[in-house]
Amino acid sequence: MKFDSFAFISFCALAVASLRLVKPGMLRLLLVVMLNFVFVASFFDSLRQALPLAGFVMAGYAAVVLSSRIGASLPLIGVVILIFAWLKRYDFLAFLPPLHFLYVVVGLSYILFRVLHLVIDVGQKAIPRPGFISYLAYVLFFPTFVSGPIQRYEDFDGQVSSPVAPGTTHELYMACQRIIRGMALIGFVTVLTHFLFERIQLRFYGALAASTFSFSTFALLCAAASLFAVHLYLNFGGYMDIVIGVGRLAGLALPENFNRPYLSRNFLEFWSRWHITLSEWFKFYLFNPLLRLMAQKWRAPSQMPYLAVLGFFVTFTVMGIWHGSTRIFLAYGLILGSGISLNKLYQVQMTAWLGKKGYKVLAGRSWYGHLCRGLTLAYFALSIVCLWIDASHAQVLSRFRGMALVFIAFAALSALTAVLSFAIERLTARLSNVPPWMPSLSDRVLPAWTAIQIFLVAVAIFSVDSNSPEFVYKVF
Partner 1 sequence: MSAVRFFSLVLLWLGIVYALAIAASLLYRPFADLRGIDTAQSEKSLFATETKYLMFSLGRLNYPGPRVIVLGASNAGTGLRPAMLASRLGMPVYNLSVGGSNAHEIGEVTDLALANIPANSWKQTIFVDGIWYGQFESDRRRWPDGQTDIDIEAARYHLYLLDGPAGHIEPRLPPLAMDLAALAMRPFLIGLKLYYSLDPVITDVRTWVLQLLGNKVRVLGESDTLVLTPAERKLAIDDLISRMGELGQWDRGGFDGLVAMAHDISAHGARLIILDLPLPDWHKRAIGYDAEYQRRMAALKMQLCAIPNVGVETLDGFSDDDFFDYVHPRPRVKEQWAQKTADLVAHGHGCVR
Partner 2 sequence: MTDRDAIRTRLNGVFQEIFDDESIQISDAMTADDIEEWDSLSHITLVLTVEREFGIKLKAAEVGSLADVGAMIDLIGSRTGK
Q: Which does 474 bind (CB under 5 to 8 A by kind): partner 1, partner 2, none?
A: partner 1
Q: Which position among 43, 172, 179, 348 is part of the footprint of partner 1 (CB under 8 A)?
A: 172
Among the listed residues 278, 260, 256, 386, the one whose alpha carbon sits nearest the alpha carbon of residue 332: 386
| C-beta closer to partner 2: residue 322 or 329 | 322
- Please report how close the Cβ of residue 38 comes to partner 1 at its closest, in angstroms: 21
Q: How far apart are the C-alpha atoms of 182 and 256, rounded to whole Å?
A: 14
Q: Which position among 167, 203, 272, 354 is part of the footprint of partner 1 (CB under 8 A)?
A: 167
Q: Tell me the HSE value of 256 on the side-chain side, using a 13 A CA sphere.
A: 8
Applying CB under 8 A, which residues contact partner 2?
120-121, 124-127, 152, 268, 280, 283-285, 287-289, 291-292, 295, 301, 304-305, 308, 344, 356, 360
Binding of partner 1 at residue 7 (CB under 8 A)? no
- Please report how close the Cβ of residue 253 comes to partner 2 at its closest, in angstroms: 15
Binding of partner 1 at residue 442 (CB under 8 A)? no
- Please report how close the Cβ of residue 446 comes to partner 1 at its closest, in angstroms: 8
What are residue 264's DSSP bridge partners?
none
| C-beta closer to partner 1: residue 307 or 458 | 458
What does the buried/exposed string (b/e) look like for 380-408 if buried means 16 or more CB atoms within 10 Å of the residue's CB?
bbbbbbbebbeeebbebbeeeebeebbee
Binding of partner 1 at residue 202 (CB under 8 A)? no
- Please report how close the Cβ of residue 82 comes to partner 2 at its closest, in angstroms: 20
Among the residue ranges 85-93, 126-134, 194-202, 466-474, the one whose residues contact partner 1 (CB under 8 A):
466-474
Among the residue ranges 110-118, 258-266, 303-311, 455-463, the one whose residues contact partner 1 (CB under 8 A):
455-463
- Please report how close the Cβ of residue 25 comes to partner 1 at its closest, in angstroms: 20
Q: Which position among 176, 229, 291, 330 is part of the footprint of partner 1 (CB under 8 A)?
A: 176
- Please report how close the Cβ of residue 447 comes to partner 1 at its closest, in angstroms: 4
Q: How far apart are the C-alpha atoms of 405 and 339, rounded to whole Å?
A: 18
**DSSP 8-state symbol, 377:** H
Q: Which does 126 bind (CB under 5 to 8 A by kind): partner 1, partner 2, none?
A: partner 2
Length of the chain: 476
Binding of partner 1 at residue 162 (CB under 8 A)? no
3-state secondary structure at position 224: helix
Per CB under 8 A, contacts with partner 1 among 221-260 are 249
Write the CB contacts of 58 (distance below 8 Å, at least 6 apart in sequence): none
Q: How far apart are the C-alpha atoms of 121 and 113, rounded to whole Å?
A: 12
| C-beta closer to partner 2: residue 295 or 460 | 295
Per CB under 8 A, contacts with partner 1 among 35-54 are none
Write the CB contacts of 357 (distance below 8 Å, at least 6 apart in sequence): none
Please name the amino acid found at residue 13. A
| C-beta closer to partner 2: residue 105 or 286 | 286
The contacts found for 307-310 with CB under 8 angstroms, 24 or more apart, are 308/344, 309/341, 309/344, 309/345, 309/348, 310/341
Binding of partner 1 at residue 147 (CB under 8 A)? no
3-state secondary structure at position 258: strand
Q: How far apart are the C-alpha atoms of 359 and 262, rounded to whole Å?
A: 23
Binding of partner 1 at residue 104 (CB under 8 A)? no
What does the buried/exposed string (b/e) look like for 425-447 if buried means 16 or more CB atoms within 10 Å of the residue's CB?
eeeeeeeeeeeeeeeeeeeeebe
Which residues lie near partner 1 (CB under 8 A)? 20, 166-167, 169, 172-173, 176, 249, 443, 446-448, 450-452, 454-455, 458-460, 462-464, 466-467, 469-471, 474-475
